[in-house]
Structure 1
Amino acid sequence: MIITLNMKITFFSSKPYDKEFFNKANQQFNFELDYFETHLGPHVLNLIENTDAICAFVNDKLDAEVLEHLAKKGVKYIALRCAGFNNVDLEAAKRLGLKVSRVPAYSPEAVAEHAMAMILTLNRKTHKAYNRVREQNFALNGLMGFNLYQKTIGVIGTGNIGAAFAKIAKGFGARVLAYDITENQELKDLGIEYVSQEQLLSESDIVSLHCPLMDSTRHLINADSIKKMKKNVMLINTSRGGLIDTKAVIDGLKSKHIGYLGIDVYEQEEKLFFRDLSHTIIEDDTIQRLMSFPNVLVTAHQAFFTQEALDQIANSTLTSLSHFEKNEEFENPNAVLV
């Protein structure tokens, strides 16, 4: 059954795959969809005309200034096609009467599996082995890894994604430690131990971050927290770049206190990620320094990037906007931010 609504939705930071999955999902809503590849910020507000809703992604800026302009232009809804919302001034949105939604859970296994893939790649150096063999180099020197079995893996943040990751880690026969302000009884029943953050950092061979970016978690990994970690620790971040103080992590890599680093997110990623910069001189010296380490693996915010996740993101986002438009109750209250 086709639902006929005249809502116009303007997308920012859109890519070909966004169009593919949202156009497919829109067959049951019949919204008017307008796509822009540029990210949302003060510089593109003149592009917005006669729009009911804005659909934004992780690096779009929705601060008070932008939200005020959107409200003046008649925008009523902000739909984030992601779980995080650190890029939105929620107090300003509430003051301006803007409704804000997000996608609180979209195939959490997608991100959890990518985090484990980064661990396995860094550990067993499959990316290096692949390149070697292509050059007819079949030597094993420099490719030695370690068993995950019976190692200690620490999970900071056990929401949907962190819980999925903890279960995967447990499946490898690892001892899994967890830290969160709210404990998950299902994970405890599986033998996952909730401990203090200090104990987790001091006992874990691998630390994987799965918590949201808030004032209380910004630079959660810093010079002091790195000192509490085991020597040669592996650090994985598939959550938000701001959880890590990049300078402190670089110092930790140089001192060999951090033995491995895998990041799918980066604090200054809005200037880099989701773009082809292969013919460009990158002026960000920090990311260049990170990529110069042989024990660092960087992926460009692709942990979410599976068919299942994109299906769920598109359907969840458009369903939320339909609920807003028709003043319906949300099945998942966590999807509503304002």
Structure 2
Amino acid sequence: MKVTFFSAKPYDKAFFDRLNANFRFELVYYETHLGPHIVNAVEDSTAICAFVNDKLNAEVLQVLAEKGVKYIALRSAGFNNLDLDAAKALGLRVCRVPAYSPEAVAEHALAMILTLNRKTHKAYNRVREQNFSLNGLMGFNLHGKTIGIVGTGNIGKAFARIMSGFGCKLIAHDIHEDDTLSAIGVSYRPLSDLFAQADIVSLHCPLLESTRHLINSASLRQMKPGVMIINTSRGGLIDTAAILEGLRSKHIGYLGIDVYEQEDKLFFRDLSQTILNDDTIQLLMSFPNVLVTGHQAFFTMEAMEEIATTTLQNLSRLSQGLEPENPAALLV
């Protein structure tokens, strides 16, 4: 079976090529993202493997189906970039990686919290210039602070376990309450209560129509002055214009984002020799209390191994007329 990859970086090739020895698929890689501009390059492929910023709208899916593609394998948990109704209507089978080392993302969220709080990135640069002054580097104790966790799926649950070790008070919001989290002291609250009480709000929910711009002007007004907001989930959860206003007014004390609404034009690329045509991200990065990473939270050896293994296993089973071992992996 021939599988065509899009948004494929050298590390993707390394992991998939190594693990493909057990499956013997024909793998073809494109570094560009999938969209109307490149979809006609697909030839004789039974499957497409796509990532978070690939465009799998009805137009693209129609062309893929006409070219004989049967399977769409998402090497991610999120699927907000895919038109599920169109895929179903075209008879395409769609699978994903519902869980891949949730600890990787949860640990990155913690890294962002600690970096913003203790300003280790600034201290690193100072010391390299032989500046050992502590002025401007004061942080706060995490112990005793209230952490608001929005979404307690696999990643949110891993994040809650980590933060419980810091002696934090944990409150959470999810449509499904998790008894194992309640057992370690997590208290489920309405979203408005979480926003009002949390010193740190960390987002771990999927991007759906119901969660798009979950953080907006109205929700920000409910939060404490000086709140820290962390987003390692999807950029569309945050209304960037509202966030900028919150930063200007100093209502937001700290912002850490590993994702961004318009990241498909920026992330996963080396743009160091170019002028960015995105004034918003430039403005965000100009604030001293903002930390931006480029969709890096998932990026550990363990996660990459799981992503590649699960994706290839999903395709193998689908090609044999079987469903993925994990029922949550099959979307259509």
Q: TM-score, normalised by structure 1?
A: 0.98
- One-letter amino acid of the counterpart of residue 205, structure 1: D
Residue segments in structure 1 that go unaligned for 5+ positions in a row:
1-6
* Cα distance, 1:98 vs structure 2: 0.1
**Residues 1:55 and 2:27 are matched in the alignment:** no
**Residues 1:28 and 2:13 are matched in the alignment:** no
Segments of 4+ moved more than 6 angstroms: none
**Residues 1:251 and 2:251 are matched in the alignment:** no
Q: Percent identity?
A: 70
**Residues 1:142 and 2:131 are matched in the alignment:** no
Q: Deviations over 1:196-227 (max 9, x none)?
A: 10110000000000000000000000000000
Q: Deviations over 1:222-280 (max 9, x none)?
A: 00000000000000000000000000000000000000000000000000000000010
**Residues 1:230 and 2:224 are matched in the alignment:** yes
The verdict on how the C-alpha distance between 1:329 and 1:101 changes in structure 2, with shifts beyond 3 A counting, is closer
Q: 1:128-277 maps to which residues of 2 (within 5 A)?
A: 128-277=122-271
- One-letter amino acid of the counterpart of residue 197, structure 1: L
Q: Distance in 1 between matches of 2:311 and 2:265?
A: 25
- One-letter amino acid of the counterpart of residue 235, structure 2: G
Contact 2:71-2:94 within 8 A present in 1 as well: yes
- Equivalent residue of 2:37, what SS? helix
Q: Distance in 2 between matches of 1:284 and 1:87?
A: 21
Contact 2:77-2:96 within 8 A present in 1 as well: yes
Q: Deviations over 1:155-189 (max 9, x none)?
A: 00000000000111111000010000000110000
User: Partner of 1:311 in structure 2?
Assistant: 305
Q: CA RMSD of the aligned region, Å?
A: 0.4
Q: 1:61-100 maps to which residues of 2 (within 5 A)?
A: 61-100=55-94
User: Partner of 1:3 in structure 2?
Assistant: none
Question: For this pair of structures, how many residues does the alignment match?
Answer: 332
Q: Distance in 2 between matches of 1:260 and 1:224?
A: 18
Residue segments in structure 2 that go unaligned for 5+ positions in a row:
none
Q: Distance in 2 between matches of 1:15 and 1:308?
A: 17
- Equivalent residue of 2:283, what SS? helix
User: Partner of 1:322 in structure 2?
Assistant: 316
* Cα distance, 1:136 vs structure 2: 0.2
Contact 2:203-2:230 within 8 A present in 1 as well: yes
Q: Distance in 1 between matches of 2:323 and 2:74?
A: 18
Q: TM-score, normalised by structure 2?
A: 1.00
